[in-house]
Structure 1
Amino acid sequence: MSRSFGDDYPICVACGVQYPLSVAASAASATAHCFICEDERQYVGYAGQQWTSLGELRLQGHTVEIREEIPGLWGIATSPNFAIGQRALLVPGDDGNVLWDSTTYIDDAAVARVTELGGISVIALSHPHYYSSMVEWSRAFGDAPIYVHERDAQWIRRNDNVVLWSGDTHEVLPGITLINAGVHFAGGTVMHWRDGVDGSGALFAGDIFTVVADRRWVGFMYSYPNLIPEHPVTIRKAVDLVRTFPFGSLYGAWWNRIITSDAHDAVIRSARRYFEHIGAPLDGMHL
């Protein structure tokens, strides 16, 4: 029997975030606004605000691509590419899998495949641009809790099963810890996996620390599409927070945007290079 998803819930075409049904009527008359896209970190498309839904995406032939990013770590993405185009990651742990970030499209085939891979015990989000259909994924896996930092609570469009956490760090499963880096958004979060695939530790960064085209480095931005740099004080705090967590690899928000070795040093030297180019003092950076 086919699973029931929220096929009629409106989804912003630009960012891929699913909205409550209360938006649906106004979306049809083009009077609804995407709160997330109207923020200065994102944008409304040149054709104006546009909406779709899971039902429409299914009719258009969208599916969920699930494949190993590296052996032992599975990526999940809407295919063909949609909205921002991020891929989520299914991170294994002794007490269950964590879905790191989310993706917009979901269907029965995706749920079946993820179930074969061990299911989802916890969902953790880096920032609002990747909230997408997080509630649908949660409901498909027994109402798995969705962890969002409380500093980003204002951006949540559907709050079913959302757990707001506070402070600098929070362990969601043994050995898997959320870190409030505060880059990009006040609640901008990265996730540390103590063991990593190879035992050297891993950091899941979304685009809080974004893996750039030259995959020896990461970048720090308040807005990527609008090219607004992040504040030096914010970056300094973020680097100090992750400094105490060992990690050999780092996983960005898109397929193949990964740093496979010496990732801890890559974050620190990337911060040093950023400070040098914007003319910010290196005092207190321990770089």
Structure 2
Amino acid sequence: MPAWICWTCGVQQAESDTPPASCPICTDERQYVGWEGQRWTTMAELAGERASELREEEPGLLGIGTQPSFAIGQRALLVSTPNGNVLWDCVSLLDDAARAEVARRGGIDAICLSHPHFYAACVEWADAFDAPILIPEADRQWIQRPSDRVRLWQDSVEPVPGLTVARIGGHFDGAAVLHWPAGAEGRGALLTGDTVTVVQDRDWVSFMWSFPNLIPLDPATINQIVERIAPLEFDRIYGGWWGRVVIHDGAAAVRRSADRYLARLRGERPA
């Protein structure tokens, strides 16, 4: 039986003879059902229409996207370390080119995910590389394709020695970031998906309950995000899409972006 993939969000569902009636990810107010209604595809159909796009983001960091773009268009990141490799976030397509390149780099020791919108075909990737999928307990309800490979965690987890995934909340209760101390030439990198999203002005980031529907977060949650990120040392931020990178001064970008966000919520305008 196929594991159907939602055309709008790209998240794969449990195997079934016929497509589900709806996608729970898309009917939630943080996402949306496409204007043409609920549509489904399969991994085989995607492989016939699209191909993986592989880019070296920096030494030890491989970007994995899909060309032409599919669903919400994110790219995953493979972090390679001396202690093992971690796939951060996921995409809906796994083709021969991506499989071969990831295998050449040593495979995947764990898959970690920023939030449910980026779960994509994580079970397919986990099965291909015999890897566990680490999902925060707080987002258990959003797992669309159950698997024995799923491992639930609470506030933080170390998928391989030297890498830390921390739950910061916000976009989802289990929204998380991955801290890579060796990234950015040893200055540290934070991989965020869009739990902390890098905006068009790449000196800044932002935070939302819903990005497509433009629903903001509340002040208490913004403060919580900043507080949970504060202990992590990093200079660079990798968001969830190609080019969405804060190159330098990432920790300060989070703080000043939160201050700006909170000021606008209070009704303050720039001088």
Structures share fold, TM-score greater than 0.5: yes
1:83 paired to 2:83? no
3-state SS of the aligned residue for 1:247? Answer: coil
Q: 1:129 aligns with which of 112, 117, 129?
A: 117
Residue 160 of structure 2 is matched in structure 1 by 173
1:15 paired to 2:9? yes
Q: Which runs of 5+ in 2 are unaligned?
A: none
Alpha-carbon contact 1:73-1:197 (below 8 Å) kept: no
Residue 209 of structure 2 is matched in structure 1 by 222
Alpha-carbon contact 1:222-1:228 (below 8 Å) kept: yes
3-state SS of the aligned residue for 1:198? Answer: helix
Q: 2:243 aligns with which of 256, 271, 278?
A: 256
Percent of paired sites with the same residue: 51
3-state SS of the aligned residue for 2:263? Answer: helix
Distance in 2 of aligned mates of 1:42 and 1:68? 30
1:71 deviates by 3.6
Alpha-carbon contact 2:109-2:160 (below 8 Å) kept: no
Residue 162 of structure 1 is matched in structure 2 by 150
Residue 183 of structure 2 is matched in structure 1 by 196
3-state SS of the aligned residue for 2:256? Answer: helix
Distance in 1 of aligned mates of 2:138 and 2:150? 13
Distance in 2 of aligned mates of 1:222 and 1:182? 10
Alpha-carbon contact 1:176-1:192 (below 8 Å) kept: yes
Alpha-carbon contact 1:184-1:208 (below 8 Å) kept: yes
Distance in 1 of aligned mates of 2:40 and 2:191? 30
Letter in 1 for 2:107: G
Letter in 2 for 1:58: A
Distance in 2 of aligned mates of 1:237 and 1:149? 17
1:209-263 Cα offsets, whole Å, 9 max, x none, are 0000000000000000000001211111111111111101000000010011110
Residue 151 of structure 1 is matched in structure 2 by 138
Q: 2:34 aligns with which of 28, 34, 45?
A: 45
Distance in 2 of aligned mates of 1:280 and 1:220? 17
Distance in 2 of aligned mates of 1:181 and 1:102? 19
Count matched residues.
Answer: 267
Letter in 2 for 1:148: I
Residue 46 of structure 2 is matched in structure 1 by 57
Letter in 2 for 1:101: D
- Tell me how large the CA RMSD over aligned residues is: 1.4
Alpha-carbon contact 1:69-1:256 (below 8 Å) kept: no
Letter in 1 for 2:111: I
1:186-215 Cα offsets, whole Å, 9 max, x none, are 000111112214111110010000000000
Distance in 1 of aligned mates of 2:57 and 2:68? 17
Letter in 2 for 1:35: P
1:280 deviates by 7.7
Runs of 4+ displaced beyond 2 Å: none
Alpha-carbon contact 1:36-1:42 (below 8 Å) kept: yes
Residue 212 of structure 1 is matched in structure 2 by 199
Alpha-carbon contact 1:232-1:280 (below 8 Å) kept: no
